[in-house]
């Protein structure tokens, strides 16, 4: 899809912070407020993106597991039923050795075994091979596609606490637990997860909380770095991209150099260190096989000679996404 320069800037602003007001974006892009509203609505209707929000559920004591599975028969897999299992947060399919990935959240070993047992009970004898990776820490997570990664200014508004969310690359600064949320917090979180763009009046109507209470709670979420990001999740296929995962076993890791590398290459949108066999999980965007080949070689050169193995994960389809422990919201 061909984008005009102002559309690229608009998408980058939305990917950075979808709560920027239309009037403030209009000043930055030197367009009318109506034009901004129209472009946002049209791109949303064309399914170029969905709105996304990320609360750092790890502060609540949750751990994340990546469950990769090779399947005998993909068509017989009951992914819809799996998505309804307690604390399943993400399901996608791959082309290649692993046919699917299921990400789920758990607090302790007992809950981990319970969720895994429930998933396996639906997969039954369809499993050929499985791999479970334990999340350790993220180095990069971005929803800014290279197609609209252009230079632009960003709105500022000290009176609106949402404007403090100013980065398109959102990762927790450090692992912390012990964060407490109450019933009112969870009511508000549930509505924001369903629609991150609701204004205070709409949130008040849906939650039956006062606007002042909502404002105070959101301020606290942001100050405590519990609410990390509100942006957009781009429909990469609509923009002509494909997503590739690289599961790498690396002997030695220079975290500072690795961080600098991935942040200086906008085709890398995700990098995670896992606690499993020194494995790195890295995802890139590419439009063509030639482009992918170029990026793959750059990554291979950077990590050489420390790479022991690389497995390619060709991302096929996103089936389910709800990145928060659903058991807390019931």
Whether pLDDT at 173 is above 60:
no
Q: Cβ atoms within 10 A of the Cβ of 203, count?
A: 21
Q: Which of 284, 162, 277 is nearest to 231 (CA)?
A: 162
180-223 adopts what CATH topology?
Arc Repressor Mutant, subunit A (1.10.10)
pLDDT of residue 168: 58
CB burial readout 13-48, b (16+ within 10 A) else e: bbbbbbbbbbebbbebbebeeeebeebbeebeeeeb
Greatest CA span in the chain, whole angstroms? 59
Domain boundaries, the chain: 180-223
pLDDT of residue 75: 77
Is the CB of residue 311 less than 8 Å from the CB of residue 249?
no
Using a 10 angstrom Cβ sphere, with 0-12 exposed, 13-18 middle and 19 or more buried, the burial of residue 76 is exposed
Peptide bond into 305 cis (omega under 30): yes
Average pLDDT value for the chain: 93
Q: How far apart are the first and last CA of the chain?
A: 40
Task: Note the pLDDT tens digit of each residue in 238-261.
Answer: 999 999 999 999 988 888 899 999
Task: Note the pLDDT tens digit of each residue in 59-78.
Answer: 999 999 999 999 998 777 89
CA distance 57 to 104: 12
Task: Note the pLDDT tens digit of each residue in 14-27.
Answer: 999 999 999 999 99
- High-pLDDT (> 70) share of the chain, %: 96
In whole angstroms, how large is the CA radius of gyration of the chain?
Answer: 20
Q: What is the DSSP string of 102-136?
A: EEEEESSHHHHHHHHHHHHHHHGGGEEEEEEEEEE
- SS3 breakdown of the chain: % helix, strand, coil, rounded to 5? 40, 30, 30
- Residues 201-220 have a mean pLDDT of 96
Q: pTM of the predicted model, to two decimals?
A: 0.92
pLDDT of residue 192: 97
Phi, psi at 195, each rounded to 5°: -155, 95
pLDDT of residue 77: 84
């Amino acid at each position: 899809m061909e984008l005009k320069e102002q559309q690229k800037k608009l998408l980058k602003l939305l990917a950075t912070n979808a709560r920027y007001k239309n009037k403030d974006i209009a000043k930055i892009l030197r367009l009318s407020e109506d034009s901004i509203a129209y472009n946002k609505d049209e791109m949303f209707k064309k399914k170029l993106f969905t709105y996304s929000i990320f609360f750092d559920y790890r502060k609540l004591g949750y751990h994340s597991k990546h469950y990769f599975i090779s399947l005998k028969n993909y068509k017989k897999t009951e992914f819809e039923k799996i998505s309804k299992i307690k604390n399943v947060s993400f399901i996608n399919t791959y082309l290649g050795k692993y046919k699917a990935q299921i990400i789920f959240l758990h607090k302790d070993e007992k809950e981990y075994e319970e969720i895994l047992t429930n998933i396996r009970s639906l997969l039954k004898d369809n499993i050929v091979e499985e791999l479970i990776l334990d999340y350790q820490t993220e180095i990069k997570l971005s929803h800014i596609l290279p197609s609209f990664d252009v230079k632009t200014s960003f709105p500022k508004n000290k009176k609106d606490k949402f404007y403090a969310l100013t980065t398109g690359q959102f990762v927790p600064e450090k692992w912390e637990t012990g964060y407490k949320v109450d019933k009112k917090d969870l009511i508000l979180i549930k509505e924001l997860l369903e629609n991150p763009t609701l204004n205070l009046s709409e949130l008040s109507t849906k939650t039956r909380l006062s606007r002042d209470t909502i404002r105070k709670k959101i301020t606290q979420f942001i100050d405590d770095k519990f609410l990390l990001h509100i942006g957009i999740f781009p429909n990469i296929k609509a923009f002509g991209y494909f997503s590739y995962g690289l599961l790498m076993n690396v002997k030695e890791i220079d975290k500072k150099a690795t961080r600098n590398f991935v942040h200086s290459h906008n085709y890398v949108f995700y990098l995670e260190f896992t606690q499993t066999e020194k494995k790195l999980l890295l995802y890139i965007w590419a439009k063509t096989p030639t482009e992918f080949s170029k990026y793959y070689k750059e990554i291979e050169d950077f990590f050489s000679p420390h790479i022991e193995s690389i497995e390619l994960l060709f991302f096929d389809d996103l089936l389910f996404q709800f990145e928060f422990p659903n058991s807390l919201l019931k």
